[in-house]
Amino acid sequence: MFYQIAAPYLTKNEKKYILEAIDNNWISSKSENVSRFENKFARYVKTKYAISTDNGTNALHLALLALNIKENDEVIVPCLTFAATINAVLYTGAIPIIVDIKKENWCISPEKIRKAISPKTKAIIPVHVYGQPCDMDSIMEIASEYGINVVEDCAEAQGAEYNGKKVGTFGIIGCFSFYVNKVITTGEGGMCVTDDKKIAEKISILKNHGMNPKKKYWHDYIGYNYRMTNLQASFGLAQLEKIDEILKKRKKIEKFYIENLSDSSFFIPQSQNIEKTKKITWLVSFLLKPKKLNRDKFIKKLYEMKIETRPFFYPLSRMNIYRKFVDGVYPIADNISKSGISFPTNLNLTQLDYRDIVSKIKSVAKYLAA
């Protein structure tokens, strides 16, 4: 048995809704299920509008375009995130400003944001990384003080809350991904959410070739084709129906790891109860006590034992293609990145599988540390 780190959790309705879509002969982006999925998603996060996209990266790109971000503008991003966050900024021609994270939540540091602000700063992209909400009070306070827009990258934090509100509802726009390893999936897919009617309209136009919604084949912008299809939306509807169940199951898996690994002297669990936040479980993640265990050897050995794990993202600052946006050092991102590991968080595995995984994790750790 190979324990895959993540896999989509499918039940009856994914197939049912997709087959209905095929039977009805609606398979492209022009369809009822796309707007149905958007409306239900908006209701779930409690925003006025939700606009679906073909993936999460393009949701971020559209958000920045809708805010008119362009060459010579600056956009602040965290050092520890998936590359799509910074790439979306680069697509617009704007300059990403990489800032360090906080040790407590692995998310962008509000103090470092403040230091990175210049007259050219047009937006901040806090990333709720590994399911953990950022310090939204401080970030929104800084943003409003300087009149800067906030675009939340919620790709890894569907359903997470801050102050009792879902992430994605603090900034002017929230962006989600439905890639296959995210909390709910459409295979590939994404969503922008907002309460701002004008922004919602602009995103809808830009994702649909920049075409004027009232005058077909008349283009007001150089647009894109970033649309979600009816097949993806049908799948998404089935997933969204059970998001609460999915989150509960994921949380239970995380709890099991924490209960079984925290008495060991090798592992530090991700913070679970930071003030005001309700994190969700994306991939169950721990830091290794670095002097005791070599992370990369640990991953390799676990893989040999048929347990797939993953290292944390590399700090953006360490990659050559982003080197020119580096300003200073990023000691916290460096440290977290080096010692972080995510364990199987796969709803298709059984309780027995998780017992097996945890016992192997413990024995490999002991073996390597000896």
Please say whether the beta carbons of 202 and 194 come within 8 A: no
**In the bound complex, what is the minimum distance in angstroms from residue 215's beta carbon to ligand PLP?**
31
Nearer to ligand PLP among residue 14 and residue 153 (C-beta)? 153
Nearer to ligand PLP among residue 158 and residue 234 (C-beta)? 158
What are 18's two structure tokens? Answer: 């997709």
Q: Which stretch binds ligand PLP (CB under 6 A): 17-25, 77-85, 260-268, 272-280?
A: 77-85
153 binds ligand PLP (CB under 6 A): yes
Point out which residues pair with 208 in neighbouring strands.
Answer: 225
SS3 112: helix
56 binds ligand PLP (CB under 6 A): yes
339 binds ligand PLP (CB under 6 A): no
341 binds ligand PLP (CB under 6 A): no
Nearer to ligand PLP among residue 239 and residue 293 (C-beta)? 239
Nearest to 314 by CA among 98, 125, 150: 98
81 binds ligand PLP (CB under 6 A): yes
Point out which residues pair with 89 in neighbouring strands.
Answer: none
Nearest to 37 by CA among 213, 216, 231: 231
**In the bound complex, what is the minimum distance in angstroms from residue 221's beta carbon to ligand PLP?**
22
159 binds ligand PLP (CB under 6 A): no
131 binds ligand PLP (CB under 6 A): no
**In the bound complex, what is the minimum distance in angstroms from residue 229's beta carbon to ligand PLP?**
14
Nearer to ligand PLP among residue 42 and residue 88 (C-beta)? 88
132 binds ligand PLP (CB under 6 A): no
Window 168-227: residues binding ligand PLP (CB under 6 A): 177, 179, 190
**In the bound complex, what is the minimum distance in angstroms from residue 119's beta carbon to ligand PLP?**
27
Window 241-280: residues binding ligand PLP (CB under 6 A): none
Please say whether the beta carbons of 182 and 202 come within 8 A: no
Contacts of 321 (CB under 8 A, 6+ apart): none
14 binds ligand PLP (CB under 6 A): no
Window 277-316: residues binding ligand PLP (CB under 6 A): none
Extended beta strands in the chain, E state: 49-53, 74-78, 95-99, 121-124, 149-153, 161-162, 165-166, 173-177, 190-194, 267-269, 277-278, 285-288, 310-311, 340-342
156 binds ligand PLP (CB under 6 A): yes
Determine the angle formed by the axes of helices 295-304 and 351-369, rounding to 10 degrees.
Answer: 130
Please say whether the beta carbons of 97 and 113 come within 8 A: no
Please say whether the beta carbons of 21 and 27 come within 8 A: yes
Nearest residue (beta carbon) to ligand PLP = 56
57 binds ligand PLP (CB under 6 A): yes
CA-CA distance, 305 to 253, in Å (whole number)?
A: 20
Binding residues with ligand PLP: total (CB under 6 A): 14
Nearer to ligand PLP among residue 56 and residue 110 (C-beta)? 56
**In the bound complex, what is the minimum distance in angstroms from residue 127's beta carbon to ligand PLP?**
5
84 binds ligand PLP (CB under 6 A): yes
CA 367 distance to own-chain centroid: 34
Please say whether the beta carbons of 264 and 234 come within 8 A: no
121 binds ligand PLP (CB under 6 A): no
130 binds ligand PLP (CB under 6 A): no
In terms of C-beta density within 10 A (0-12 exposed, 13-18 middle, 19 or more buried), how is residue 349 classed? middle
**In the bound complex, what is the minimum distance in angstroms from residue 57's beta carbon to ligand PLP?**
3
CA-CA distance, 19 to 33, in Å (whole number)?
A: 13
Residues near ligand PLP (CB under 6 A): 55-57, 81-82, 84-85, 127, 153, 155-156, 177, 179, 190
